[in-house]
A and B are shown apart, each in its own frame.
Chain A
Amino acid sequence: MAAIFQGVGAAAALSSLPSNSFDSKNILFSPRRSFSVRKAPSFVVVRSDGTMNLDLNPKGRRAQQFIANAVATKEDSSAASSSSKPGHELLLFEALREGLEEEMERDPRVCVMGEDVGHYGGSYKVTKGLATKFGDLRVLDTPIAENSFTGMGIGAAMTGLRPVVEGMNMGFLLLAFNQISNNCGMLHYTSGGQFTIPIVIRGPGGVGRQLGAEHSQRLESYFQSVPGIQMVACSTPYNAKGLMKAALRSENPVILFEHVLLYNLKERIPDEDYICNLEEAEMVRPGEHVTILTYSRMRYHVMQAAKTLVNKGYDPEVVDIRSLKPFDLYTIGNSVKKTHRVLIVEECMRTGGIGASLTAAITENFHDYLDAPIICLSSQDVPTPYAGRLEEWTVVQPAQIVTAVEQLCQ
């Protein structure tokens, strides 16, 4: 059983639920009132065993069964996480924190700066406890000045530190666009290679649960043109920790996109040190009939649709592209060469999103291998509405994915 709850005042709702329907230790909520428009109430996603329920009926608490296979059918390194060593279970935000903490212990130059990352522990608890452990200077609570503290992070990176800049919500980093585009991406080049900017810019983005248009933005589409940066999107606790560590060890500026709705995913991850390659995609489910390329939260919509498709006799291959810039054209290409049909499922807007770039890249490189035109399912070019149903209709739903695959495989 799994259930999804909405934000502030959830305490009352939680106490009324049957106790066997969820593990109360996994509940996360920030009962903080927001008085300013920039601080949205956070929400709760409670999960059941290793899966995530994306039941989108806001009133619903349906039994969730058909995703059960999604995680288990992984055959690559992600699956190895549950097979070789016992490992330990944790939630995605804890995995991010673990990765960050380990790197901070390993290298004293790693520091965090952002709003409420220190004493508050981070709006989504990614930095909880770190300020107590490492001090206020290494986990710096900044004033609300995104452009300036991002620039400060860049200046610190140029002079020898390895900062992590947290955007409380990725959308707030629109205010830091000057610094991210001009300085973060370009300074290594315009300085003739003299200065490196080993900065990691991270934060949650994507469409949440009725957070309104401005808190539901997908900035990967805006930043993808900036030269000199890498962009990765995490989707599981395993790759969240791995990508966080890889990003922190990279000499390049990396933007790590997290998703507001994925922070409470639970998974068993290895105890030993590991990283996930920043430039590689992840094979989620090998298949024969169609390649479905996706990332971040849409991976779960795809896996939900995959179960339906399997029941209908299709065999989709699901690839989580993970690296939004640059694309892993090897993994993607091998998949296209095998299945000859491509469906892209993303959360970006239709216009100018990651899907649009990916469609172009695949057409350019693998046109001869395609038996059908590429279908790209993206969000509607609409500011995300507040009303729940309207919000559902702006993002891609599993039913649409199923229809698209059926159409592709005719």
Chain B
Amino acid sequence: MNSASCAAKISTQPFSLNPTSPASHDRPLVSPKPASLFLGSTRKLRLSSSSKLNLHRRSGTVVAVSDVVKQKKSKSTHSLLITKEEGLELYEDMILGRAFEDMCAQMYYRGKMFGFVHLYNGQEAVSTGFIKLLKQQDSVVSTYRDHVHALSKGVPARAVMSELFGKTTGCCRGQGGSMHMFSREHNLLGGFAFIGEGIPVATGAAFTSKYKREVLKEADCDHVTLAFFGDGTCNNGQFFECLNMAALWKLRIVFVVENNLWAIGMSHLRATSDPQIYKKGPAFGMPGIHVDGMDVLKVREVAKEAIGRARRGEGPTLVECETYRFRGHSLADPDELRDPAEKAHYAARDPITALKKYLIENSLASEADLKAIDKKIDEVVEDAVEFADESPVPSQSQLLENVFADPKGFGIGPDGRYRCEDPKFTEGTAHV
């Protein structure tokens, strides 16, 4: 592992993979690397006295990006972490995520989209860092904060924006909305409104991958599934149940915790007995890794290892990404509880700024290159809005389609015909 991975706290056990052995009692945990090996500052963040937070419990993980970059530069006796092409790809993906979400906010306040819209600003490093390592056939499962996961996975910006506008050209024909982004083509399995309910679905996708290989004998099937969810979800039963099953059957899945410290207005520290989520992995027999989620390169290094582990069939990994959302929980959230000093602290660690600095300081890209990407993405996003604006709203005939894959499920009407054969059914006015 290279220097970036050393920055991650790793909690794992060299246990035997026999599921019947009670692993956690037999061998000691490999303790996290001592603080002195941690790149960058280990000072605890001291906030002003009005702080309601107990941030020092998040010990040793607060690192200023600039320190990291400096350290990397001076320490590197080997090649850079990424090539120019990779760097530009990462940059473009993060800029797309940021620009798209900013446009969503604009469109929401202009009355083009409604309901609950949850924006991803500030967390782009996690989505880009992980998803850009996947193949098309790998699956991603997300929560309601799913626009950027969709974009990173390859769903066109047009399709996502149309979906948000509720148009029939949206990726889910306007039937899902902000919280339910699905794409069969790109293997994006949602988009879930209830936290935790996507994790079993992700476990199921990973189960299919194992089944295809072992039962259907598709020997080269090594599809990996990523499950993204937040810190609040880590107190939910489905999280723990799936950690157990995934480790038990060594499923090809990576559990990615986007710990942004807040579940709407509930601070992670007020909700969780042991706030260090990565430690919960070894309890179930998988490595637990903590990584700075504001640094796309660090996330990418950890992701490579975790996805590689899964792909090789070595089992699941729990990755806790320390990250932050710059906006409120949703566009309806006044975001009054969070300390401005905390927000400022993380704003200074903007992942896009950090990557930009890295690319320029390592001569991987010039300002002009990056500006060109900015411009290109602006055009993509504006085109998406235009496309969505001009797309038609769903007609009434769409109401009853897609309720069932086989519309015979609506049953037999009094006249003896299946209801779906009723002409009114295709108009959407049938009584079913």
Contact = CB atoms under 8 A, between A and B. Distances in A.
Interface string B199-224: 11111111111111011100000000
Contacts of B210: 137
B197 A183 contact: yes
Contacts of B173: 192-193
Given A135-B215, A159-B189, A149 B409 contact: no
Interface in B170-217: 170-177, 180, 182-184, 189-194, 197, 199-212, 214-216
A145 B241 contact: yes
B405 A251 contact: yes
Contacts of B413: 329-330
A217 interface: no
Contact of A160 (B183, B208, B401): B208
A178 interface: yes
Contacts of B404: 188, 228, 230, 251-252
B414 A151 contact: no
A251 B408 CA distance: 10
Contact of B200 (A108, A143, A154, A194): A154
A225 B327 CA distance: 37
Interface in B217-260: 237-238, 241-242, 244-245, 248
A165 B211 CA distance: 16
B197 A252 contact: no
A137 B241 contact: no
A190 B183 CA distance: 11
Interface stretch (A55-63, A204-212, A320-328): A320-328
A204 B75 CA distance: 64
Contact of B241 (A143, A227, A228, A327): A143
Nearest to B182: A191
Contacts of B202: 155
A155 B194 CA distance: 15
A148 B200 contact: yes
Contacts of B200: 147-152, 154-155, 179
Given A138-B215, A149-B245, A366-B414, A188 B204 contact: no
Interface residues of A, number: 60
Nearest to B196: A178
B182 A192 contact: yes
A388 interface: no
Contacts of A154: 200-201, 204
Contact of B412 (A152, A228, A328): A328
Interface string A175-195: 000110011000111111111
Given A143-B245, A191-B172, A323 B182 contact: no
Contacts of B197: 151, 178-179, 182-183
B336 interface: no
B208 A155 contact: yes
A119 interface: no
A246 to B, nearest CB: 11
Contact of A137 (B184, B201, B214, B416): B214
B37 to A, nearest CB: 37
B238 A151 contact: yes
A171 interface: no
Contacts of A188: 402-405
B207 A152 contact: yes
A276 to B, nearest CB: 14
Contacts of B191: 190-191
B406 interface: yes
Interface string A28-53: 00000000000000000000000000
B410 interface: yes
A251 B403 CA distance: 12
B109 interface: no
B32 interface: no
Interface of B: 139, 141, 170-177, 180, 182-184, 189-194, 197, 199-212, 214-216, 237-238, 241-242, 244-245, 248, 401-406, 408-416, 418-419, 432
27 contacts: A109-B216, A138-B211, A148-B199, A151-B197, A151-B199, A151-B200, A154-B200, A155-B200, A155-B207, A159-B205, A160-B208, A161-B211, A179-B197, A189-B175, A190-B191, A191-B176, A192-B170, A192-B402, A194-B184, A195-B184, A279-B408, A279-B418, A323-B411, A327-B411, A328-B411, A331-B412, A365-B414
Given A179-B200, A228-B403, 20 more contacts: A138-B211, A147-B238, A148-B199, A154-B201, A154-B204, A155-B206, A155-B208, A158-B201, A159-B204, A182-B194, A188-B404, A190-B176, A190-B190, A191-B175, A191-B184, A194-B172, A251-B404, A279-B412, A329-B412, A330-B413
